[in-house]
Chains A and B, each alone.
Chain A
């Protein structure tokens, strides 16, 4: 009787200790996001009250944003489309380039493949901000500044090294006999690629595609360096431009930001299964 009492107490104290960690973690994680959400659903004048829930919650801010009814927001839909286009193009190009390279290095064992892998890894380890200014000047030299392709290419440059590495790790784990069986069955290299390799690494492709899309969607520094025309910039750059004005409509800024944060969160949750295993597998192995 007494002993079961003690066991119960001990379980309760463990639970309490866990909660003591869990609650601060929850608050810490959600605070900025909730604050942003609060702004988005508050009327203009009551957003700064410090209350946990506004007295008169409203969706009016969303209406203003979606109808582009503020001069900061005149190009909202266009900029959202720019973000989407650049993210999708980055995802598609990264997948194409990285899958081919990983297949060539890991399965075709192309001569010099190891060197290319090392070059890619080296690129992966260049801090992105360090490459930003040279990249900006380079795009100027190539005459690509202000073209959305400059941002797409820059994002692909940054995303492919990691993509190649993850895909190569995944490919290396496929048994080599599968390729040999396909060779015996009469497959050409491209048939092997299309009919055997791609289906087998599909889960990793989902992870990598998502990674590249989120990377491009969330990018600020390169976007703001490489694009400047109001109709060409992505939404993060537009949000950054809010800052430079004195009369910034904070509640609209937060509403737009909230809208912008939703798709990546949704994508992440949709592909969480692939993301976690795909992106952390390689890291744990080292």
Chain B
């Protein structure tokens, strides 16, 4: 024991002394990290732990799975993600191709196009909600004027309500993803397109052999990231349909609030815990991508 100490002593003393001038750097590094660590500990770790603790009883999960509203909202969430996100990303891909065209009016349009993303959700979603009001909304007023018939009872039909919520979501977040795909397209070297032109490629072939291979990874990343974000999209559903009619348009993001309202916090936590196996792989995929 003693000999081991004497053997390692010169090395370790050198290392400790050698690090002496590093110490203020490490010290300030730690000081500067502390504020975030405080936030993280008290407002991320604690709430998550609290959530798990609240949802610790197995009978909560039994009750949850037996609740038809939960089952319905799982289906709704799945449809929202599987259909909504893919349509959105596909449109974003097409529009990014449109917006990289060099025209003065397209430049202006791209400036306006960002608006939905920049402005708060609540006024614009409420505006849409009034448009779709069955009695006096502008949509049904116009339908009546042109066809003489009453329009559909938009938001009181669960299928149409959910579709409209998806549309609102797309309206709100399409600009952001289009913007990212535009940057992705602009990052592709113009030489590649010139080379393809020289080789006689058509526009379709240019997309297939130049644009898509370069954009594929970004597109996949965006799709997964968008899925994760969309899981947390409370506004598009809640502000448009409020989960109604008859709690048929809830998604996981709004379900927690519903259970909170009827004072079933354990159910609201359990609904999230039960969704984790689906979300965590996506999260870890994204972390692996971004944490370099």
Q: How many A-B residue pairs have CB under 8 A?
A: 290
- Mask: chain A, 230-265; 1 = CB below 8 Å from B; 0 = not: 000000100110110000001001101110110011
The answer to whether A117 and B257 touch across the interface, beta carbons within 8 angstroms, is no
The answer to whether A261 and B120 touch across the interface, beta carbons within 8 angstroms, is yes
A-B contact pairs, 26 of them (CB 8 A): A18-B106, A22-B105, A33-B119, A35-B131, A39-B130, A48-B141, A101-B35, A110-B33, A116-B37, A116-B40, A119-B44, A125-B286, A127-B228, A130-B232, A130-B256, A133-B257, A137-B50, A164-B36, A220-B121, A221-B257, A240-B239, A243-B242, A257-B120, A257-B123, A257-B124, A264-B118
The answer to whether B138 and A48 touch across the interface, beta carbons within 8 angstroms, is yes
- Tell me, yes or no, whether A30 is within 8 Å of chain B by CB: yes
Decide: A265 near B232, CB < 8 A? Known: A36-B123, A100-B33, A164-B36. Answer: no
Which 9 residue pairs across A and B have the least CB separation, nearest first? A257-B123, A110-B29, A127-B232, A134-B47, A100-B32, A129-B253, A108-B29, A268-B118, A218-B120
Decide: A36 near B127, CB < 8 A? Known: A100-B35, A220-B121, A286-B289. Answer: yes
Considering the complex, give the chain B residue whose CB is closest to the CB of A30: B112
Number of A positions contacting B (CB below 8 A): 99
Considering the complex, give the chain B residue whose CB is closest to the CB of A49: B141
- Tell me, yes or no, whether A198 is within 8 Å of chain B by CB: no
When the two chains form the complex, which single residue of A25, A104, A164, A236 contacts B120, counting CB atoms closer than 8 Å? A236
Since A121-B286, A131-B44 are in contact, a sample of 13 more A-B pairs with Cβ atoms closer than 8 Å, ordered by chain A residue number, is A22-B109, A29-B171, A33-B116, A48-B141, A49-B141, A96-B35, A104-B33, A110-B26, A127-B230, A127-B232, A137-B50, A157-B44, A239-B126
The answer to whether B287 and A25 touch across the interface, beta carbons within 8 angstroms, is no
Decide: A125 near B109, CB < 8 A? Known: A50-B145, A133-B257. Answer: no
How far is the CB of A25 from the nearest CB of chain B, in Å? 7
- Tell me, yes or no, whether A53 is within 8 Å of chain B by CB: no
How far is the CB of A176 from the nearest CB of chain B, in Å? 13
Q: Which chain B positions have C-beta within 8 A of A188?
A: 24
The answer to whether B179 and A165 touch across the interface, beta carbons within 8 angstroms, is no
A141 to B272, CA, bound (A): 20
Decide: A265 near B119, CB < 8 A? Known: A125-B283, A129-B234, A138-B43. Answer: yes
Decide: A261 near B112, CB < 8 A? Known: A131-B47, A153-B39, A189-B25. Answer: no
Give the interface of A toward B (CB within 8 A).
Answer: 18, 21-22, 25-26, 28-33, 35-36, 39, 48-50, 96-98, 100-101, 103-105, 108-114, 116-123, 125-138, 141-142, 153-154, 156-157, 160, 164-165, 188-190, 193, 214, 217-218, 220-221, 225, 236, 239-240, 242-243, 250, 253-254, 256-258, 260-261, 264-265, 267-269, 272, 276, 280-284, 286
Give the interface of B toward A (CB within 8 A).
Answer: 24-33, 35-37, 39-40, 42-44, 46-48, 50-51, 54, 95, 98, 101, 103, 105-106, 109, 111-116, 118-128, 130-131, 136-138, 141-142, 145, 171, 175, 179-180, 183-184, 187, 217-218, 221-222, 225, 228-235, 238-239, 242, 252-254, 256-257, 259-260, 265, 268-269, 272, 275, 279, 282-283, 286-287, 289-291
When the two chains form the complex, which single residue of B44, B175, B269 contacts A133, counting CB atoms closer than 8 Å? B269
A126 to B239, CA, bound (A): 21
The answer to whether B218 and A127 touch across the interface, beta carbons within 8 angstroms, is no
The answer to whether B39 and A127 touch across the interface, beta carbons within 8 angstroms, is no
How far is the CB of A271 from the nearest CB of chain B, in Å? 10
When the two chains form the complex, which single residue of A25, A32, A126, A243 contacts B124, counting CB atoms closer than 8 Å? A32
Decide: A138 near B47, CB < 8 A? Known: A104-B32, A236-B122, A261-B120. Answer: yes
Decide: A138 near B257, CB < 8 A? Known: A21-B98, A22-B106, A129-B233. Answer: no
Residue of A29, A111, A122, A130 ringed by the most chain B CB atoms within 10 A: A130
How far is the CB of A214 from the nearest CB of chain B, in Å? 7
A122 to B276, CA, bound (A): 13
Q: Which chain A positions have C-beta within 8 A of B289?
A: 286
The answer to whether A113 and B29 touch across the interface, beta carbons within 8 angstroms, is yes
The answer to whether B218 and A286 touch across the interface, beta carbons within 8 angstroms, is yes
The answer to whether B290 and A286 touch across the interface, beta carbons within 8 angstroms, is yes
Q: Which chain A positions have C-beta within 8 A of B256?
A: 129-130, 132-133
The answer to whether B25 and A108 touch across the interface, beta carbons within 8 angstroms, is yes
Decide: A264 near B120, CB < 8 A? Known: A18-B101, A36-B127, A284-B184. Answer: yes
The answer to whether B112 and A29 touch across the interface, beta carbons within 8 angstroms, is yes
